[in-house]
Structures are given as structure tokens and as C-alpha cells.
Amino acid sequence: MLTLRKASDRGAADHGWLKSFHTFSFANYRNSNEQGFSDLLVINDDRVAAGKGFGQHPHRDMEIFSYVLEGALEHKDTLGTGSVIRPGDVQLMSAGSGVAHSEYNHSTTQPVHFLQIWIVPDVSGAEPRYQQEHFSAEKKRGRLQLIISPEGDNGSLRVRQDARVYAALIDGNESATLELAANRYAYVHVASGSVELNGVPLQEGDGVRVREEQVLTLSNGVNAEVLVFDLRPQELPQMP
């Protein structure tokens, strides 16, 4: 069963320097029907103006990853990490017992467009850690590339949860298929472009809750970039 969440139904915030769309309830956007899905708590689609960003602020007991679509995002944290994240890079910060970080547009002339995604961990109070890896367009072209997994399989980043995240670039005649294990949920988010999921047309910003399906096929894309989350079969996130 596929349950579509249209991009136009998301929450929206415009702070001038920041324009954001919220798939699930976040900050001042509250929707009792959109409190996350399985262990997926937040998908924020953010556009940050040149030279602007989020000052240092704390997190704990959350798996937070950033996925840059355009531009460059500068990250600094209290673990001593400093990095610049560009398209193809995936950054995963496990907040654990507590960490503070800042995120700024690295450019003084161009905006940055990125997704920030929160996954609820399976343990509380763990040691904070930071990971970053580059996944080239070639690795994602016409296939679902594993970028996040519990054990760090195939060069993916390690997440403290029974969740796997795949990224794909689909255009023209390209297609990619993911087979889910029995009794698994999934969530599909179209980061850019358009694509079909099992024949259902999706546009940029659309999301789909997936239940009782074991084969997911992405096809008929038009410059599509897609994230697919393989998740535990529960409706709402639960903190450990």
C-alpha cells in the first residue's frame, strides 16, 4: 500500500534567509497526522541564503543527516569537526549524550539547498560521533545506492537504528528496484525532479509511506533524485 504525501501539503516556513518545507511536524508547524513514520522523525527541505545559516545549537539522542542538493553547507561541532558538504556528500551526526553544531551556507554569493533528516536512535546516551562520505553520481545513476545502514555495509555510514537509506538518480529509461524483507515499512522522498514509484507519478517534494509492499521500482524519471528509507514496521517514532 502506497500513501502519498504531496509536496504542496507540507508545512512551510519563510524566514527570509531560510525557506523550509517540513514533511513532518517541526518547529512551528504542527500537524497531528504528520508526526513522523516508523523511526523517521524529520525531513526538512531547506534553502539557505548566501552567507546565512544556523548558529550553534545543541542536540542529543538523535541521528541527524544532511544531504546537499545544490551549493555547499559548512558544518562545525563541539566534537571538533569542521567540514564543507557538497552534492554527493552525506553527513551523519549521531548526537548521543549531547553535541552542539552550526550549519552555514559556505558561499557568500550562492544559496544552498539541502535536506536535513532525523532518525530516532535505538539507544540513548551513546557517545556522540560524526561521519561523512561521498557517493558519486555514477554510484547512484540508475540504481539505489546504500548510503546509511546499521553496520556500515558497503561503505555506507553507520546509524544507530534498524534503518537503511538508499539514494538514486533516475532519468529517462533508467529504473531501479529495491526488494524489502517481509514485514518492513519504507518511505520514499523525491528530492528533485519527477519519477514513478510502482507506476505512481511523483513530483519534487512528494513523499510516500509504504506498507505491505515488498518490491519498490523507480522508473520514468526526469532528472530525479530520490531517497528511499527501509524501516521497521511501526507507525510512529518512539524515543529509546
Q: How far apart are CA 51 and CA 220, in angstroms?
A: 37
CA 75 to chain CA centroid, nearest Å? 17
List the beta bridge partners of residue 195: 202
Within 10 angstroms of residue 151's Cβ, the number of other Cβ atoms is 9
The reply, when asked if residue 189 is annotated as ligand binding, is no
CA 76 to chain CA centroid, nearest Å? 19
The kind and range of the H/E element at 140 are: helix 137-140
Which DSSP letter does residue 29 get? B
Q: How far apart are CA 72 and CA 188, in angstroms?
A: 24
Q: How far apart are CA 163 and CA 231, in angstroms?
A: 5
The reply, when asked if residue 59 is annotated as ligand binding, is yes
Q: How far apart are CA 49 and CA 15, in angstroms?
A: 10
Q: How far apart are CA 76 and CA 91, in angstroms?
A: 12
CA 74 to chain CA centroid, nearest Å? 17
The reply, when asked if residue 106 is annotated as ligand binding, is no
The reply, when asked if residue 101 is annotated as ligand binding, is yes
User: Which residues are annotated as part of the binding site?
Assistant: 57, 59, 101, 103
User: Which residues are annotated as part of the binding site for Fe cation?
Assistant: 57, 59, 101, 103
